[in-house]
Amino acid sequence: MKQFLFAACCFFLISCNAQKPAPLPVSPDDNSLLWEISSKNGGKTSYIFGTFHLMCKEDIHFSNNLLTALRQSDEVYFEMDLDDPANTLGGLFYMNMKGDTTLADLLSPEEYKKVATFFQDSLKTPIALLQRMKPMMLGALIYPKLMPCKNMSGIEQELMQLAKKEKKEIKGFETIQFQSSIFDSIPYSTQAKELLKNIDSMQAYKIFFDSMLTVYKSQQLTKIGNMMNDTSYGGAGDMEVMLYNRNRNWVEQLEKIMKEKSVFVAVGAGHLPGNQGVLELLRKKGYIVRPILNK
């Protein structure tokens, strides 16, 4: 009988520990990329982490608290399911502009020549091979030129490898079709002008990019939000499409998901701060959102 009671107590303690893992230490301020999400009505705890899509591989480090948060979660959510080959193949299918539009149609001959020269001289890529690619996607090809290293990686890719190692199911909020529609909703001519502007201001753009990276590494979410709204480098006029609409959609999905499961969410850090950021939207829905120490 004593052995039975002892075994029963052990089982009870193990069950309680499995359901309610030890809470992670809270950050003394809001300077954290890792946040805990809990409901006032109890239930499982979830986490959200702000990423930077491209960094020097040696600069990517994950804290013990982040690793614990990932292990304690049932599933891992990215902006898109990065583990689905259809998204990779679909990205190739959806990267071009609709119709027969080409970059030469969107720029003057002088402007087009400037872009073509930049791609040939700086990226060693003939622009003729990329004529139909959406200009915002062409802009993404510039990012490696802004990096101070050759060995680059995405934080999402590194997290995905950890999630696979922990045998976590990987999911996404959006499809490749939806993400492609975002680029289609912004006039191609506007995208082309932004591409030209970035090429014209390459040195200033690099300084801005370095500053953003520094702010990210120091986990200053408020400054990240301010820089995302900086009109000097474009994009601010498209915040409703690029950020706010998506933030609202993700929170609606999370409300349903978090009722049943504990999830670890990893999305671009720019989606977290501000009155229309994911953190504040979750608070408005009644969730308790706390910064977790992430050093």
- Separation of alpha carbons 242 and 192, rounded Å: 17
Q: If you average pLDDT over residues 229-254, what whole number do you get?
A: 82
Quick check: 236 pLDDT over 60? no
The contacts of residue 239 (CB under 8 Å, 6+ apart) are 228, 229
When pLDDT is averaged across residues 108-124 and rounded to a whole number, the result is 94
- 84 within domain boundaries: yes
Confidence band (pLDDT; 50, 70, 90) for 247?
very high
For the cut 70, the answer to whether the pLDDT of residue 47 exceeds it is yes
Q: Is residue 7 part of a domain?
A: no
Tell me the whole-structure pTM to 2 decimals.
0.88
The upper half-sphere exposure of residue 28, i.e. CA atoms within 13 Å in the direction of its Cβ, equals 1
Structural domain of 66? 24-291
Secondary structure (3-state) at 86: helix
Say which residue, 41 or 201, is predicted with more confidence.
201
Position 13 pLDDT exceeds 50: no
Model confidence at 145, pLDDT cuts 50, 70, 90, reads confident
Residue 198 lies in a domain: yes
- Structural domain tally of the chain? 1
Residue 133 lies in a domain: yes
Q: Is residue 9 part of a domain?
A: no
Query: What tens digit of pLDDT does each residue of 186-197 get?
Result: 999 999 999 999
pLDDT at 235: 54
Can you give the pLDDT at residue 21? 64
Mean per-residue pLDDT, 56-75: 96
pLDDT band at 20 (very low <50, low <70, confident <90, very high): low
- Give the rounded percent of residues in the chain with a pLDDT score beyond 70: 89
> Tokens 């930077």, residue?
52
The answer to whether position 123 is within a domain reads: yes
Beta bridge partners of 113: none
Q: Would you say 283 and 206 are in contact if contact means Cβ atoms under 8 Å apart? A: no
